Chains A and B, each alone.
Chain A
Amino acid sequence: MDIIIPEIWLRDFLKTKATAAQIAKCLSLCGPSVEKTSGKGNDLVYSIEVTTNRVDSASVYGIAREAVAILPMFKIQALLMTPKVTARELLAKTVDYLDASVDSDLCPRFAAILIRNIEIKSSPDWLQKRLILSGHRPINNIVDISNYIMLTLGQPTHTFDYDKIKNHKMILRKSNQGEKITTLDGKTHTLPGGDIVIEDASGILIDLAGIMGGQNSAVNENTKNVLFFVQTYNPVNIRKTSMALAHRTDAAVLFEKDLDPENVEPAARLGIDLFTTLAKGQPEAKILDIYPHPHQTKKLTVDYLTISKNLGINLPKPIITKILTNLGFKTVWKNKLLEVNVPSFRVRDINIAEDIVEEIARLYGYHHLPSTLMAGQIPDPHPDSTFDFETKVKNILKGFGGIETYTLSFVAKNKAGEDALKLQNPLGAESEYLRTSLLPSLTTAAKENSGEKEPFYLFEMANVYLPRKENLPEEKLMLAEIFFNTNFREAKGTIESLLESLHVKADFITEDAKYFLPSHRLVIKTKGQKIGQFGVLEEDNLIYGELEVAKLKAASREFLAFKPVSQYPAQIEDITMIFPERTKIGEVIKLITNNSELISKVELKDIFRDNYTFRIWYQNPKKTLTNEEVTKIRNKILQSIKVKFGGVIKS
């Protein structure tokens, strides 16, 4: 919650010699964060972020109360001045001017007073100026008084035109689903049900309580008598209604954070004063106050040891006492135990011993606490950590000239794949689904760079989200690569070299699938299990490959077992052969390799028209091969190639 506090207003309640800069700094270090100060002199304002649990400080007086506790910790004296009120009207459970029936679960405290013969006009300059400084537009004295009370004390109030309330009767109850109300901004709402509403004797809704008043009961220039209204409401109902109707008024934002009923009386008296002085109103003698469960003292006990353990130091007891007293707590030490009475405005956020520790720690100053790394045992490593492997793979691809990219996990429907998970509240149709494959994202990424002249290749390692019944989706980490304007063999070589670097023995099996050109796709398998795919896409001849990271890791070895280095050098020779059209050279190489144990390696060296040059390594680990032995193997190879593929040696 961001609030703006004018300096001149704050000084009404905060008596101190501290400068605005000092106040800003001290508050930020020990309390609500002052984001900035702007303006000078009487126009200076503080922009302050109040956390959701501290609605008690979301007002000028609330900030003054914090400052008075904090400034002395910096050796700056400060005094809190309570708002001056002169109104002395009595509180009464019933009054003759209003017949109210209130559901106290919805409205823990209901206060109202009739003020007669008001004069509606502009507010005085000093009031208008304060409202403008804190970001509110002055309207007229009646509306401005409400805003002024809310900004001063953090308590929203409302004014009805008394004469528009039929029979001066009010029933505060839960709404039924489908009931309608037009609020004073002219919007008509159909209520979801369970909203806090007020109806009058005619049975018509006149107030969407805690959010905005009804148009039919609103004050206008003809109003003579007003019913001034100060309440607290059940925060859960207010929150639900406000969110469901997307109606986020200042009042709703405060009420949904559970306000202190004890603040109702000061707000009512401040209001009576203002109506009397600024609108010449004549208040009734009694304030209606329906408050069946008044505030009870809340006590907590905190062990000194708990404080020390959390802080990491032993703070002297008098410092602890002083801090809590300055914050409005009452304290009694019983040996090592500290008994604390929580002030009414803090009972909602102070619930456990740790909450008291926080109060002590923040006021003592986190900046005064020591900084030490923890001693103690270092935990065991994670049994199936894949992070080092992922880094290794990325580094290998980087070494091959790959460029890593991060694309968004959300995609449009046509890129999501079947059964992809759909978002209930996407930012747009382009990002409505969670992707089940990296292929569409990388295709888009490559095409974003279609102006590029040189070949390039992008890769990404990211989760895809595969739906499972009655469960969270499976999050499968994928490695995907996309090659633009790249020769097929070079692209494929990147995958082959990656696998080789990871010591993965893989088979490439031709198999058609969606998105790939026919007979342009290979399934990558290890031990018969699919770990990925690679091939030429239908789209723009892009080449795409992907591997499942977990399976890749399972198939990889950090290093292979040591093999003694052979003492006998290999005989290496190049053989150029001519093949009929449509010969699968991969299979030829497989045939050559499998021909004899004495062939240690085969590579395709060169292609020129239909001439293929293979380089063959003949090697016997136990002796040097003679020319006769090599000739024998070579002839066997040539024979089998001729039989199986019709390939002949180039003469």
Chain B
Amino acid sequence: MAAGNPTELEVIRVAYLGRSGRLTSTIKKIKGLSPEDKKQAGVLINDTKNVIESEIANKKNSFKATPRKWFDPTIPGIKPKIGHLHLITQAISNISQTFEKIGFVRVRYPEVEWDWLAFEALNMPKGHPARDEWETFFVDAPDHPKYGQIVLTPHTSSGQVREMLRVKAPPIRMINIAKCYRRQSDVAHVPMFHQFEGLVIDKGISIANLKGTLDYFARNYFGTNRKTRLRPYHFQFTEPSFEVDVSCDICAGRGCRLCKEGWLELGGAGMVHPTVLKNGGINPKIYSGFAFGWGVERVLMMKSGLKIPDVRLLYSSDLNFLQQF
């Protein structure tokens, strides 16, 4: 066979074995022969067909041994464009997933809020010195006769009473993640930031349950080897109030330059004050609860060891920053 490549070979195959090929047309002629001739012609045609088929097969196989075509697998691929979710979005996803696993319901409450919900309902009347810690932005708008001034909410705790009023009858397991605003701007503070607030109210909720929840969060969010501890603190809207620490991962709790004797400060927590429960329409004689409110940026930095020197970078739109994550 003179075929030099698979295409030519295919032409030859069709010429003999195709629907109107030579051999096929010969077979069609058999019909007209005597029974004796038919038999002889049949044998002859079959032999011929076998010979042609095996020759084509041989030839086809021989083509596979042809010299390789040049191919360079080291050439870089053409990549689809990679998008980026912001670090804050990633942190919020992690945090809400962690709490949702133990039955918390994620909510969102106003970022621009009445003074009453941000402070008074939380046991901080007007002029109370405790308010100093919240460097609050006030909105230039008329006061509400009952709820007072409009403020940019300085903490997610404003959602506590709103959640109580929404749910009415406990159980409550709320995780409220939202933007908050405070009048401060330096390497550690941005006037806009994010907090997440946990609130649990039911019959018989104790400090032990708060510890259980915080430990669960620490193990799931930071890692199974991490622990939390509570220290006394004071907030007007919780009684008792705590400062929560998580064990330092860098020194494994032994104490190092970055931590305080093996502990890093996470944020505040406490058992919900009976006055706050009452303001939310919940009977403190029947129900008790706990709450905690921490900075998303803070836990993000503590988790990943990102070592971002200036937290304000998180709120810049510099592609060199955004594309890193």
Chain A residues within CB distance 8 Å of chain B: 25, 28-33, 35-36, 51-54, 235-236, 239-240, 243, 256-257, 309-313, 352, 354-355, 357-358, 361-362, 366-367, 369-374, 376-382, 385, 387, 391, 394-395, 397-410, 421-427, 431, 434, 444-446, 448-449, 452, 456, 458, 462-463, 465, 467, 470, 472-473, 475
Contacts and interface: CB of A to CB of B under 8 A. Distances in A.
B112 A354 contact: no
Contacts of A431: 191
Q: Which of B113, B179, B203 gathers most chain A CB within 10 Å?
A: B179
B128 to A, nearest CB: 8
Contact of B234 (A51, A239, A405, A456): A51
Contacts of B85: 394-395, 398, 404
B226 to A, nearest CB: 13
Interface string B64-94: 0000000000000000111111101100010
A233 B221 CA distance: 48
Contact of A425 (B103, B137, B212): B137
A448 B318 contact: yes
Interface stretch (B22-30, B45-53, B309-317): B309-317
Contacts of A385: 105-107
A36 B260 CA distance: 8
Q: Which applies to chain B's interface (DSSP): helix, strand, loop or mixed? A: mixed
Given A374-B205, A421-B139, A398 B112 contact: no
A291 to B, nearest CB: 25
When A and B form their complex, which 8 residue pairs have the shortest distance between CB atoms, in order from nearest?
A312-B208, A401-B81, A312-B206, A51-B234, A445-B317, A398-B83, A358-B240, A378-B103
A16 to B, nearest CB: 20
B322 A371 contact: no
Q: Which of B106, B112, B203 gathers most chain A CB within 10 Å?
A: B112
A424 B138 contact: yes
Nearest to A473: B112
A344 B197 CA distance: 36
Contact of B319 (A35, A243, A424, A456): A456
26 contacts: A29-B229, A53-B130, A54-B234, A256-B129, A311-B207, A311-B208, A312-B209, A357-B240, A358-B239, A358-B241, A371-B214, A374-B200, A376-B171, A379-B103, A379-B105, A379-B171, A403-B84, A403-B323, A406-B86, A406-B315, A421-B112, A421-B150, A426-B137, A446-B317, A463-B179, A475-B110
Contact of A374 (B86, B185, B212, B271): B212
Interface string B226-244: 0001111110100111110
Contact of B261 (A25, A361, A367, A424): A25
B213 A379 contact: no
Interface in B133-192: 137-142, 144, 150, 152, 167, 171-173, 179, 181, 183, 185, 190-192
A374 B111 contact: no
A404 B240 contact: no
B83 A31 contact: no
Contacts of B83: 397-404
Given A376-B203, A426-B137, A470-B144, A29 B212 contact: no
Contacts of B132: 52
B211 A423 contact: no
Given A33-B231, A404-B84, A370 B96 contact: no
B316 A448 contact: yes
A366 B319 contact: no
A473 B141 CA distance: 10
B139 A422 contact: yes
Given A257-B129, A354-B273, A387-B96, 5 more contacts: A357-B239, A406-B88, A421-B141, A448-B316, A472-B112
A32 to B, nearest CB: 8
A462 B191 CA distance: 16
A130 B240 CA distance: 34
A472 B114 contact: yes
A310 B238 CA distance: 12
Nearest to B149: A424
B305 interface: no
Interface string B93-122: 100100000110111101111100000000
Q: Which of B88, B190, B231 gathers most chain A CB within 10 Å?
A: B231
Contacts of A399: 83
Given A352-B239, A373-B209, A29 B231 contact: yes
A290 B259 CA distance: 50
Contacts of B171: 376-379
Nearest to A355: B239
A64 to B, nearest CB: 17
A403 B319 CA distance: 8
B288 interface: yes
A223 to B, nearest CB: 34
Contacts of B138: 423-425
Q: Which of A32, A372, A403 gathers most chain B CB within 10 Å?
A: A403
A449 B317 contact: yes
A465 B112 contact: yes
A397 B83 CA distance: 7
A369 B208 contact: yes
B208 A371 contact: yes
Nearest to A352: B274
A377 B236 CA distance: 29
A355 B234 CA distance: 11
A239 B129 contact: yes
B4 interface: no
B112 A475 contact: yes
B35 interface: no
A473 B106 CA distance: 22
A409 B231 CA distance: 35
Nearest to B80: A401
Contacts of A355: 239
A391 B93 contact: yes
Contacts of A425: 137-138, 183
Interface string B250-263: 00000000001100
Contacts of B32: none
B140 A422 contact: yes
A406 B311 CA distance: 13
A369 B140 contact: no
Contacts of A31: 232
Contacts of A444: 317
Contact of A373 (B216, B241, B242, B271): B216
A358 B130 CA distance: 18
A423 B137 contact: yes
Contacts of A35: 260
Nearest to A366: B230
A343 to B, nearest CB: 18
A31 B231 CA distance: 8
Nearest to A426: B137
A547 B37 CA distance: 84
Contacts of A313: 208
Nearest to B227: A371
A639 B173 CA distance: 65
Contacts of B173: 378-379
B192 A410 contact: yes
A420 to B, nearest CB: 11
Interface string B8-26: 0000000000000000000
Contacts of B232: 30-33, 358, 362, 366
A381 B192 contact: no
Nearest to A400: B83
A626 B209 CA distance: 73
B231 A448 contact: no
A49 to B, nearest CB: 9
